[in-house]
Chain A
Amino acid sequence: GNSVTQMEGPVTLSEEAFLTINCTYTATGYPSLFWYVQYPGEGLQLLLKATKADDKGSNKGFEATYRKETTSFHLEKGSVQVSDSAVYFCALRGNAGNNRKLIWGLGTSLAVNP
């Protein structure tokens, strides 16, 4: 079945550092890929998404490119801020049959220090 693997955290960075959070997936067909963010004490919210190979999702300075050849959807940001401290979840959703359920990674905690 479909699955998502995220790099384990916690990740601790200084402000203005470069961020990469790795996400790889296993899926049949052509799934849609998502990054969700959970700020402390809140529910999850969509950060960005990509629905086909080579698509780049972007939002709030974050980017992720749907790489079918490496089955990856790594999240990047060029210069993180303290306000980016949160837990980031990679997710996948298939587009056919029983694979339409949303499959979640375990989440990666990011702490950004001033």
Chain B
Amino acid sequence: NAGVTQTPKFQVLKTGQSMTLQCAQDMNHEYMSWYRQDPGMGLRLIHYSVGAGITDQGEVPNGYNVSRSTTEDFPLRLLSAAPSQTSVYFCASSYSSWGGQETQYFGPGTRLLVL
């Protein structure tokens, strides 16, 4: 199993540009989520999905869109990039969203710089 994969690893955007961060998992996990990690602020949940066709907002959803057309893929779209979206983005998955004991598996991250 490749686990959770993310592409690209690093991206530079200009203000106003759009892009899609890709995330895929091959573990047949039901639950997938996107976090951003910023210094001094820990991990903040952007969006999450409890299954194909079902998505919901996390703590900081503004400026981001997601979709979940398949179990495997959960792309994150930046509609119009802003410098405040400069961050490291992590995708994570777990087998079920309903089990409190579930381990989350993280991708290696995408480092995004918005100029």
Of the 9-residue stretches B13-21, B68-76, B77-85, B101-109, which lies at the interface with chain A? Answer: B101-109
Least CB separation from B102: chain A residue = A93
Q: What DSSP secondary structure best describes chain B's contact surface?
A: loop
Interface stretch (choices A16-24, A68-76, A100-108):
A100-108
Would you list which residues of chain B between 77 and 115 have a CB under 8 Å from chain A?
A: 90, 92, 97-98, 100-109
Q: Which residues of chain A are within 8 angstroms of B92 by Cβ–Cβ distance?
A: 43-44
A43–B45 contact, CB under 8 A?
Answer: no
Please classify how large the interface on chain A is, using the bins under 10, 10 to 19, 20 to 34, 35 or more.
20 to 34
Known A-B contacts A43-B107, A44-B90, A45-B106; A105 and B42 likewise in contact (beta carbons under 8 Å): yes
- The size of the chain B interface, using a CB distance under 8 A, is 20
Taking a contact as CB atoms closer than 8 A, the residue among B97, B103, B109 that contacts A100 in the complex is B97
Give the Cβ gap from B38 to chain A, nearest Cβ, in Å: 10
Compute how far the CA of A18 lies from the CA of B101 in the bound complex, rounded to whole angstroms.
28
- Does B43 contact A46, Cβ atoms closer than 8 Å? no
Write the A69-105 contact mask toward B (1 if CB under 8 angstroms, else 0): 0000000000000000000010001111000111011
Q: How many A-B residue pairs have CB under 8 A?
A: 50
Chain B residues in 8 Å Cβ range of A36: 104
Query: What separation, in Å, do the CA atoms of A36 and B108 have in the docked complex?
Result: 14
Report A30-62 residues with CB < 8 Å from chain B CB: 31-32, 34, 36, 42-46, 49, 51
Q: Which A residues are CB-close (under 8 A) to B43?
A: 44, 89, 104, 107
Q: Which residue of A lies closest to B88 (CB)?
A: A43
A contact set with B: CB distance below 8 Å:
31-32, 34, 36, 42-46, 49, 51, 89, 93-96, 100-102, 104-107
